Amino acid sequence: MDKTYSIAEARNDLSHVVREAEAGRPVTLARRGRPVAMIVAATAVQPERSVHAIAELRAFRGNCRTGKINLRALIEADRR
């Protein structure tokens, strides 16, 4: 079963959290009781799945059209 730590707890004892992940036990990090991230062992990650997921996201992004909206202009306007 996954262990859940608050971000503050994980920061205070990061080496322990990393050891748990290395041992094959995924660790969930929570902010205000809500899960926000997960730490897993590097050996548990399958690079080919990541590459495939990135390719799918790029294909999806290529099919999205914003019409005449200039996203860069909206971002810059929000910064002012």
Q: Render each residue's pLDDT in the chain as its tens digit; 80 residues.
A: 578 999 999 999 999 999 999 998 999 999 999 999 999 888 877 777 778 888 888 888 777 766 677 778 888 888 76
Alpha-carbon gap, residue 66 to 32, rounded angstroms: 35
Alpha-carbon gap, residue 33 to 67, rounded angstroms: 40
Q: What angle do CA 11, 36, 72 make, to 5 degrees?
A: 110
Alpha-carbon gap, residue 35 to 55, rounded angstroms: 27
The superfamily (CATH) of domain 3-79 is YefM-like domain (3.40.1620.10)
